[in-house]
Amino acid sequence: MAQEFDLFVIGGGSGGVRCARISAQHGAKVGIAEGRFWGGTCVNVGCVPKKIMVSAAEYGLWAEDSAAFGWEMTKQGHDWSKLAAARDAEVARLNGIYGRLLEGAGVTRFEGYAKFVDAHTVEVGGETIKAKNILIATGGNAVRPEIPGAELGYISDDLFTLKEMPKRVVVVGSGFIALEYASLLKGLGAEVTLMYRQALPLRGFDQDIRQAMADALQEQFIGIHASESPLSLEKTSTGLLLKGDNGSHLAADAVFFATGRKPATAGLNLEAAGVKLGARGEVLVDDNHATSQKHIYALGDVVDRVNLTPMATATGHALADTLFGHKPRKASYENVPSAVFTSPPVASIGLTEEEAAKRGPVNIYLTKFNTMRHTISKRVGRKTLMKLVVDAETDKVLGAHFMGEDAPEMMQGVAVAIIAGATKAHFDQTIGIHPTAAEEFVTLRTLTRRTEKTV
C-alpha cells in the first residue's frame, strides 16, 4: 500500500524544510524526501561553510592590522585542516538540527532521490507515495563551462572537500560566489586571479559598487582578467593551465568555475507529472508558486527568481500558511536585500541607479571614505562606499548600496526602513550613532548628482 500525504516535499533544503515543517505544524500530514544532505545547499555547501571560511580569512587581516594599534602579534600561518574540522563539525550540528526540527513537527522523512510516477504519485528508493499536493524544492547545481578540460576544475561544492589550501588559484566568474571564493582564498594566503567575461564584476549590482569592488580587488592584489572567457583547461607538469580568449595563460594549482548554476530538475521525471519548464530549465510557476499542474508547487532556486536562502524559506513559509494555515499570503520578490561576503563586503537593497532612472529622475547621494580603523591600519583595498538612490519627485529612498565592513549587518536595518517607505527626509531626521560608518547613511547632506529619466 502506498503511503498517502496531504503534502509531499521533494528536496530537504532551505525552502523544502521550511514548507514541510510549517505545514505539519498547521496539522497537515507531510512527507519529505532528500537525496543528498538535510539542510540543502545553504547548510552543507553554501552560506554556512562559506561564511565560516570568510570569518577565518578576516581573522588573518585583523591580526595584521592590529600591529598599527600597538599589538605585537605574529601570524604563524594558517592550519587549513583545523579550520576544515571546525567547519565540518558546525555543518554536522546543523544537519542534526534540521532532522530533529522535521521529526519534532511530525514530518515523515525519506532518504533518497524522488521522482514522479504521475501527477499525484512519487517514488523514493522503490517506495511509492501518493500526495494531494506536491512541492518541488530541489534547488540548483553548479555548471561547468563547456570548454575542453573543464572536468579538471572545481565547482563551488569542492571547496569544502579540499584537504589543503591550493597555493595558486584561478576563479572563473564574477557573480557573488566567484568573488567570495576569490576573496576568502586570498585572505587565507592563496595567490588569486579572477577571470570573467564582463567588464566589471557583480552584474546586476549598482554600477558604482561594481567599479568600487573591481578597484578593491585589484588593490588587494587579486589579479583581474576582465572581458575574458576561458578557452581550455589542461594539466601540466606543475599543475593546471587555464587559457583565455584574450590570450591569457594562467598557471594554477586549482581552478574554480563559478560561472553559473542550473535548476535541479534532471531525474525528477517531470514529464510524467505534466510540469512545464522555462527556457533556463527553471520550473515555471505563477504568483502562488503553482506549476502548470495546480496541485504541484515549486519554489527556491529551482524556479530561478531570487536565488537566496531567505527567499526560499519565506516563500516556503507563505505556501504552508496558504495551503494549510488558512492564511493565504505571498512573500514579495521586491526589495530583497542581499550581501556579498567579500573583503570588504557589499550589501544592497532596492533599485540600482540604472534601474531607478528607467522609472524617473533620481537624486544620488554618494560617499567614499576610509573608516577610522583603516586610516590607522593603512590597509589598502578596504575603502567604504555608501550610496542612496532617491526618487527626485517623491523623495522616497528607492535603493541603498554599501561596500564596506559590516555592510551586511547594517543593511538589514536599512532594509526595514526602505520597505516601510522611508524618504530621504526620514534618513536626514535620524540621529546618527557616533562614531560609526553607518552614521554616514543619515548624514548624506550633499547631492552628488541628479540622474534624469533614461529613455
Ligand X SMILES: Cc1cc2nc3c(=O)[nH]c(=O)nc-3n(C[C@H](O)[C@H](O)[C@H](O)COP(=O)(O)OP(=O)(O)OC[C@H]3O[C@@H](n4cnc5c(N)ncnc54)[C@H](O)[C@@H]3O)c2cc1C
Q: Is 50 in the site for ligand X (CB under 6 A)?
A: yes
Q: Is 343 in the site for ligand X (CB under 6 A)?
A: no
Binding to ligand X in span 283-302, by CB under 6 A: 300-302
In terms of C-beta density within 10 A (0-12 exposed, 13-18 middle, 19 or more buried), how is residue 449 classed?
exposed
In angstroms, the Cα distances linking 93 to 38, 48, 81, 100, 159 are 11, 12, 18, 11, 19
Among 3, 36, 143, 288, binds ligand X (CB under 6 A): 36
**In this chain, which stretch among 136-144, 185-193, 207-215, 324-332 interacts with ligand X, using CB under 6 A?**
136-144
Q: How far is the CB of 144 from ligand X (least distance, A)?
A: 14
Q: Is 312 in the site for ligand X (CB under 6 A)?
A: yes
Among 20, 135, 139, 270, binds ligand X (CB under 6 A): 139
Residue whose C-beta lies closest to ligand X: 13
Q: Which of 251, 10, 39, 8 is nearest to 107 (CA)?
A: 8
Count CB-CB contacts under 10 A for residue 287.
Answer: 7
Nearer to ligand X, 137 or 233 (CB): 137
Q: What angle do CA 157, 160, 161 make, to 5 degrees?
A: 100
**In this chain, which stretch among 29-37, 244-252, 350-358, 423-431 interacts with ligand X, using CB under 6 A?**
29-37
Q: Has 26 been annotated as catalytic? A: no
Count CB-CB contacts under 10 A for residue 262.
Answer: 16
| Beta-strand runs (E) in 230-354 | 230-236, 239-244, 249-252, 254-257, 261-263, 296-298, 338-340, 346-350
Among 31, 40, 153, 263, binds ligand X (CB under 6 A): 40
Nearer to ligand X, 161 or 238 (CB): 161
Q: How far is the CB of 320 from ligand X (least distance, A)?
A: 13
Q: Is 171 in the site for ligand X (CB under 6 A)?
A: no
Binding to ligand X in span 394-413, by CB under 6 A: none
Please tell me what DSSP assigns to residue 454.
Answer: P
Q: Which of 249, 295, 374, 434 is catalytic?
A: 434
Q: Which of 122, 130, 60, 137 is nearest to 291 (CA)?
A: 137
Q: Is 23 in the site for ligand X (CB under 6 A)?
A: no
Count CB-CB contacts under 10 A for residue 455.
Answer: 5
Cell numbers for 10, please give them.
Answer: 521533494
| Separation CA 400–CA 388 (nearest Å) | 5
Q: Is 12 in the site for ligand X (CB under 6 A)?
A: yes
Binding to ligand X in span 358-387, by CB under 6 A: none
Nearer to ligand X, 282 or 391 (CB): 282
In angstroms, the Cα distances linking 169 to 134, 145, 222, 340 are 42, 17, 10, 20
Give the residue numbers marked as catalytic: 434
Which residues bind to ligand X, rule: CB under 6 A?
10-16, 33-37, 40-42, 46-47, 50, 113-114, 137-139, 156, 177, 264, 267-268, 300-302, 307-310, 312
